[in-house]
Chains A and B, each alone.
Chain A
Amino acid sequence: VPALAYDGTNCRAPGNCWEAKPGYPEKVEGSEYDPQHDPMELNKQQESIQGMEARNAQRLNHFKQTGEFIFDVSEIPASSA
């Protein structure tokens, strides 16, 4: 049975010691194990975080200006958002 070599001790650089197991590809792209990730899907988390950070900034701004906290950003008056 192959795949008995990788023991984690052969490092190409400090902190970089991964090796492909015997019979498995060095790179999965183009191989039978290619995950074929959709770039649109991969970017969704960062887009979501940017949206949350922007809404939080609106909440904070209104809170700092008025001392009143409004969570629903659609309810925040334009003047303080």
Chain B
Amino acid sequence: MKKFLNSTSAVTLAIALLAAGSVTAIANDRLVELAEDPANWVMTGRDYNAQNYSRSTEISKENVAQLKPAWSFSTGVLHGHEGTPLVVDGMMYIHSPFPNTTFALALDDPGKIVWQNKPQQDPTARAVACCDVVNRGLAYWPGDDETDPLIFRTQLDGLIVAMDAKTGETRWQMENSDIAVGSTLTIAPYVIKDQVIVGSSGAELGVRGYVTAYDVRSGEQKWRAYATGPDEDIRLAENFNEPNPHYGQFGLGLETWEGEAWKIGGGTNWGWYAYDPGEDLFYYGSGNPAPWNETMRPGDNKWTMAIWGRDPDDGMAKFAYQKTPHDEWDYAGVNVMMLSDQEDREGNMRKLLTHPDRNGIVYTLDRTNGDLVSADKIDDTVNWVTEVDMETGIPVRDPEFGTRMDHVGRDICPSAMGYHNQGHDSYDPERQSFFMGINHICMDWEPFMLPYRAGQFFVGATLNMYPGPKGDRQANLGLGQVKAYDAINNEFKWEVMERFAAWGGTLATAGGVMFYGTLDGFIKARDSDTGDLLWKFKLPSGAVGHPMSYEHDGRQYIAIYYGVGGWPGVGLVFDLNDPTAGLGAVGAFSELANYTQMGGGVMVFSLDGESVYTDDINTGEYEPTSLIRGDRDAAKKQPSDRNPS
């Protein structure tokens, strides 16, 4: 590893990174430029580093207690509101769960809906969604000389749709996933250069996972890469895993399965992406193998549960590291990928990727070649694995906490919901802290045999879930944690318990405040250095998305969706009582309904609640147009003209 920066000063480092960002940004240049402007939030994670980090400093730990609602918007839809709105060019783009309506609001007068695009979807799509009818967000392409800027949306029924960002008109829509075989879409699309990347969902219905790239202008499919099967389907580069041959290289998409089980082997990707323009690689994680019954699929089941580095132009994989060989717990490995450039303990600058996984391990890899840099337990109560061997990359399993047929596994930590789930976390480059929203849930697990029928659920396990050892198992509370993590020194700077799982992710700000929403319906602000609670506000409903920040007319705003749902909300959302229903989530979250009900919308905050409407109370007021006023005046003068006898 070459040393390319000697300074240890965080400030110098930040400046150098900024400069490096603008030099190496070979594409999408315009998107990188837009992300530099604090007035915008152009993609999931804010920019290609996916740090959810706002450089705005107006809201700070000194004044955050003055934060008040500035305005709000109801989407008119219930169910889980995951993800976060985008803000580009003075417009906020809002997405909703099924039926996945998209709204555009102008920040100069957010009371007026500029456009809305409401698709017609086959309602049977709802029946094959494993974990509520959520959607994780939109994507934006800035346009060029010939094509106007576009907003991209995925739909639960499997379509990827391009809409004109100014008018909302549908430009094209293509079929990516087929609900007839249990394949749906909940992932947010992701734009790299002139391509839009689309993931997949449905491992609970035996869907073999794939990721696809489409041309932004036409919808033409550029490439498609699978998670299992023959190497040509998986799209492995000639030098795949050359720096780490012990991770495994060729032929394993078939050899680590018995027979044709890989055809229904899961490995869908419904989480998040990150992209390094300098390396020209994008990163994501593949999900769990199918079915949950491990006895029905002997083998390591590659390449499910892997961290991928792929070339966005042709989809070829440069590296992959399988975190959970032969999954036995549904630790779907799709979680957030946060990029950072940090000095390692030997003082070498490293280009890193940090990834808190469902399996309770937070992985940090060298994102240029896939080298394992650290693999730490998110909480010391993780018990399925004793440690990750840093030389071999192998998780050393504790057989006592494995699962198998004719056996009830008990007190396994984490549960299938993971110690970390779909929440998009944040990284503060000044403090070199990852702020992670964590789950504290363990489980009992008993598999059962079942046939595969395309379009039907293919799970094969009965679960009981409950708070982890640090929670209150009598009251069924204490299901979450929030922690600040240092990936280089392998330590937690602070940690706090939460009543429920911190499901939605976090936002870091240069003001020294980190924000997150809670399932019981609060948005909270904590001191980035100490974790002290500085401010909170009671939202209409629980939050399962992550906060974002933008500036408008020089004022900093914090926005977050409310609307409880997702996997933890299935009991409340679908009115279920059997504790093993909802894939075991109903029991764990039996107390949730005592703290929140369904909702759906956006809340926007600013210091003292100042907004375009407090700046000028007449903003957005009804004003008769001159034409109408003229008609009225004419009618007064000549009433007979309007009502001829």
Contact = CB atoms under 8 A, between A and B. Distances in A.
Partners in one complex: yes
Contact of B298 (A4, A20, A38, A48): A20
Q: What size tier do the contact residues of chain A reach?
A: 35 or more
A53 B219 CA distance: 11
B178 A52 contact: yes
B178 A48 contact: yes
Contacts of A4: 399-400
A45 to B, nearest CB: 5
A28 B258 CA distance: 8
A59 B260 CA distance: 33
Contact of B207 (A35, A45, A51): A45
B396 A9 contact: yes
B449 A3 contact: no
Contacts of B165: none
Most buried by B among A3, A41, A71: A41
A41 B206 CA distance: 11
A71 B405 CA distance: 46
A28 B221 contact: no
Interface stretch (B6-14, B167-175, B625-633): B167-175
Given A7-B398, A17-B394, A29 B176 contact: no
B220 interface: yes
A35 B404 contact: no
A15 B181 contact: no
A48 B218 CA distance: 22
Nearest to A10: B394
Interface in B446-491: 449, 451-454
Most buried by A among B245, B260, B295: B295
Contacts of B255: 13, 16
Contact of A8 (B170, B325, B452): B325
Contacts of B26: none
Contacts of B397: 6-8
Contacts of A11: 394
A48 B219 contact: no
Nearest to A1: B407
A21 B174 contact: no
Contact of B181 (A8, A25, A45, A59): A45
Given A6-B399, A29-B259, A48-B181, A41 B248 contact: no
Contact of B252 (A7, A16, A53): A16
A21 B247 contact: no
A43 B263 contact: yes
B221 A15 contact: no
B548 interface: no
A55 to B, nearest CB: 6
Nearest to A48: B178
B402 A18 contact: no
Contact of B263 (A6, A14, A46): A46
A9 to B, nearest CB: 6
A42 B229 CA distance: 13
A3 B402 contact: yes
Contacts of B399: 3-7, 21
Contact of A28 (B174, B247, B298): B298
A33 B449 contact: yes
Contacts of B453: 41
Given A7-B399, A16-B256, A60-B219, A42 B452 contact: yes
A55 B175 contact: yes
B220 A41 contact: no
Interface in B205-231: 207-208, 210, 218-221
A36 B261 CA distance: 10
Contacts of B218: 60, 63-64
Nearest to A45: B181
B326 interface: yes
Contacts of B172: 59, 63, 69
Contacts of A13: 248, 255
A6 B389 contact: no
A64 B247 CA distance: 43
Contacts of B116: none
A45 B208 contact: yes
B246 to A, nearest CB: 5
Nearest to B447: A33
Contacts of B296: 28, 33, 35
B506 interface: no
B256 to A, nearest CB: 6
A37 B396 contact: no
Contacts of A26: 298
Nearest to B208: A45
Nearest to B244: A14
A35 B219 contact: no
Given A5-B399, A15-B246, A45-B208, A37 B261 contact: yes
A37 B293 CA distance: 14
A33 to B, nearest CB: 5
Contacts of B171: 69
A56 interface: yes
A63 to B, nearest CB: 6
Contacts of A41: 264, 452-454
Contacts of A37: 259-261, 264, 451-452
Contacts of B286: none
B308 to A, nearest CB: 14
Contacts of A53: 221
* Closest 9 pairs (CB-CB, A-B): A15-B248, A44-B454, A52-B175, A48-B178, A4-B399, A42-B263, A8-B397, A35-B296, A56-B174
18 contacts: A3-B404, A6-B399, A7-B396, A8-B396, A13-B255, A15-B256, A15-B302, A16-B299, A18-B326, A20-B298, A21-B402, A24-B295, A28-B258, A33-B449, A44-B181, A48-B178, A59-B219, A69-B170
Interface of A: 3-9, 11, 13-18, 20-21, 24-29, 33, 35-39, 41-46, 48-49, 51-53, 55-56, 59-60, 63-64, 69, 71
Given A14-B247, A21-B404, A45-B208, 18 more contacts: A6-B397, A9-B389, A9-B394, A15-B247, A15-B252, A18-B256, A24-B404, A27-B298, A29-B259, A35-B296, A35-B451, A41-B454, A44-B181, A45-B178, A48-B180, A56-B219, A59-B172, A63-B219
